[in-house]
Amino acid sequence: MTKVYSKKNDMLLMVIFTIVVLTMPIWLAPIGAGYPDLVQKFAIYGIFAIGFNILFGLTGYLSFGHAAFLGVGSYTAVWCFKLLSMNVIPAVLFGVLTSGVLAFLIGYVALRRSGIYFSILTLAFAQMCYNLAYSVLTPITNGETGLSLVKDDPRFLDGMLGVQVVEGLPSTSLFGLKMSGYPGFYFCAVLLIIAFFIALKLNRSPFGMMLKAVKSNQNRMNFTGLNTKPYTLAAFVISGMYAGLAGALLAVTDPLAGAERMQWTASGEVVLMTILGGAGTLIGPVLGAGLIKYFENIFSAFNESTLHSIFAFLPDWVEGGVVWSVSHFVGEGWHLTLGAMFMIIIIFLPGGLVEGANKIKSWVMNRNSKTSDDSGGSGAAPQTSSVE
């Protein structure tokens, strides 16, 4: 199976992606997701998942500790808001930088092993960061309360540049443009598009080829006398930086940071996003992130009374049972749905939605080519994959 990537197709993909992302508030409005808070989340978690996919999708190394980088990105960004400036540029830069450094340190140790060991090691490191954030590092992380802005933070850069002090808590801004609501979304969206572009370029580059080679057979790579460690480490650091960027953006849209962002469930969530969309594909992780966040939003909003109104058409005795069983999966029980979805996807569709779409596509094509040309020979399914 050979795949030909033409520059033209990539260009087209980029253009479509850009348009789709930027018009998200418009076309998501009919399904009740066209408001800034949610589309911001789509963009931010899209970045997170793209970054995770650079590691997992390309090299096959399954990290269970990516939430640590997300959390560190958030903490750094909030500290930048506190110490330097309410401008988002330094916050984003420092957030990416610190999580990159952390990723380098963790990756250097964790990448000495592969397979299960790597997963366990990253999980252990993430739990370690989480524990530290709750205990010893409380002066930095503010423990359980979480880190937030206070009125008399120093903000040295703002002081030097003579930015006007406003009444009450200042909000994050990009050179005066407030980073809440739609401007916040467009800031995240532009970064998402850039992140996607970099991931695309990485995917097509010799470096990306090397990572894919590591995934398909690392031993063979080692036998040819090539040291794969620098490549995997680079991939780990890059994906850590993506996670840091996502974390910083979370702080940009809402200047708070708490340790629960670093919990293992958060790491599991990004794994699920990537797998749901399709690991190793370009568009899959973004798709997965969007779907998960959308369903999270919809499902956690449900409560008994909305359920009763939804199932009102059923006879009373059926309705009671249905509402009772469904209520475990919505609202507080959203995580149950998440876990169940996790299992179902991995059991039945390990390649994710993109693979599912490709299967359907090739099945349809197959049928078409069979009916249109009975001479045989050319009836084989054309191996097309539009986005990979």
Partner 1 sequence: MDAFVLQIFNGLDKGAAYALIALGLTLIFGTLGVVNFAHGALFMLGAFCSVTVQKLLNFSKKVKDETITFFDAYKEQPYLEIWFGDMGTAIIDYSVPISIFIAIPIMLLIGLAMERGLIKHFYKRAHADQILVTFGLAIVIQELVKANFGANPIPVPAPDVVSGSAAIGVLFGLGESVVYPWWRIIYLFFSLSVIGAVFAFLQLTTFGMVVRAGMQDRETVGLLGIDIDRRFTIVFGLAAVVAGLAGVMYVPVLPPDYHMGMDFLVLSFVVVVVGGMGSLEGAVAAGFLLGILQSFASMNEVKSILPGIDQIIIYLVAVIILLIRPRGLMGRKGVMED
Positions touching partner 1 (CB under 8 A) are 60, 62, 64, 109, 112-117, 119-121, 123-125, 127-128, 131-132, 135-137, 264-265, 268, 271, 275, 328, 332-333, 335-336, 338-343, 346-347, 350
Q: How far apart are CB 23 and partner 1 at their closest, in Å?
A: 33
Question: Which contiguous run of DSSP H or E holds residue 148?
Answer: strand 147-148
Q: How far apart are CB 275 and partner 1 at their closest, in Å?
A: 7
- Cβ proximity to partner 1: between 203 and 274 the closer is 274
- Cβ proximity to partner 1: between 53 and 172 the closer is 53
Longest dimension (CA), the chain: 80
Q: How far apart are CB 73 and partner 1 at their closest, in Å?
A: 21
- Cβ proximity to partner 1: between 112 and 370 the closer is 112
Q: Which amino acid is at 45?
A: Y
Helices 264-277 + 334-348 axis angle, to 10: 40
Return all residues near 239 (Cβ < 8 A) that are at least 6 apart. Answer: 51, 52, 53, 54, 55, 63, 66, 103
Q: How far apart are CB 238 and partner 1 at their closest, in Å?
A: 20
Q: How far apart are CB 105 and partner 1 at their closest, in Å?
A: 11
CA angle 354, 357, 363 (to 5 degrees): 140
Q: How far apart are CB 134 and partner 1 at their closest, in Å?
A: 8
Rounded CA gap, 194 and 287, in Å?
16
| Number of continuous H segments (helices) and E segments (strands) in the chain | 18, 4
Rounded CA gap, 257 and 248, in Å?
9
- The phi, psi pair for 177, rounded to 5°, reads -85, 120
CA 111 to chain centre: 22
Local structure of 35: helix, strand or coil: coil
Q: How far apart are CB 56 and partner 1 at their closest, in Å?
A: 8
- Cβ proximity to partner 1: between 101 and 137 the closer is 137
- Cβ proximity to partner 1: between 229 and 361 the closer is 229
- Cβ proximity to partner 1: between 120 and 157 the closer is 120
- Cβ proximity to partner 1: between 144 and 332 the closer is 332
